[in-house]
Amino acid sequence: MFRIQKAVKSGDKQAVIEKELLSKARALLNENKPLRLLSLKDEERKILNSLNLLTHKPTLYIANITEDGFENNPYLEQVKQLAKDEMAEIVPICAAIEAEISELPDEDKKEFLDSLNLKEPGLNRLIRAGYHLLNLQTYFTAGEKEVRAWTVLIGATAPQAAGVIHTDFEKGFIRAEVIGFEDFMRYQGEQGAKEAGKWRLEGKEYLVQDGDIMHFRFNV
């Protein structure tokens, strides 16, 4: 603050913005509230991000509960309210159930989850929550021998997604062959999706969607 105050006195307009922002931040911290609660303009958000302040970072609470603790659990409700008040995420997980699932063969996992009225393992929900919190998504490349998942920021363009595989893919990007995840599953793969008219070509401005199956055309 001392450095900024000196800059303000010298007429630095950016310093004025920073001083006002830090004053708001300090006032909130003095109330024992996280900086995530601040309502910020884009410029203010960039400034605060550059400072790497702990309570401005995205936060995820993982609540370890008993097998029957997903409903009518006052302790879980307290943590949910805390997360809501702090603009944080929460994922309830039963570690005992997750341990059992990890020991089961794949063919038995669904039956086990059904017996507990659960749609999926808690680990899946945890991964999705973490991705959402970090503004990330996944797209896939599918070949004859392997399927691979790649992580990109939400809002990434097709060339940027290609660059995650190799920088040459981004530099020489021409087109992306794209099939949406739901279409890929519904029509049982690439050939079925093509026959159903769900295969398409996208250009440089295309924004990658979560779960897209993509093949890149490029030239270097």
Residue-level pLDDT at 5: 67
Residue-level pLDDT at 6: 63
| CATH assignment, 60-133 | 3.40.50.300
φ, ψ of residue 75 to 5 degrees: the values are -70, -40
Local confidence band at 15 (pLDDT 50, 70, 90 cut-offs)? confident
Classify domain 2-56 at the CATH superfamily level.
Obg-related GTPase Ych/YyaF, coiled-coil domain (1.10.150.300)
- Which of 179, 139, 129 is CA-nearest to residue 159? 139
Q: For residue range 155-213, what is the model confidence (pLDDT) as tens digits?
A: 999 999 999 999 999 999 999 999 999 999 999 999 999 999 999 999 999 999 999 99
- Region 143-159: mean pLDDT is 93
φ, ψ of residue 136 to 5 degrees: the values are -115, 160
Local confidence band at 12 (pLDDT 50, 70, 90 cut-offs)? low
- Which of 141, 166, 168, 163 is CA-nearest to residue 153? 163
- Domain-wise residue ranges, the chain: 2-56, 60-133, 136-218
Instruction: Determine the topology of domain 136-218 in CATH.
Output: Ubiquitin-like (UB roll) (3.10.20)
pTM for this predicted structure = 0.77
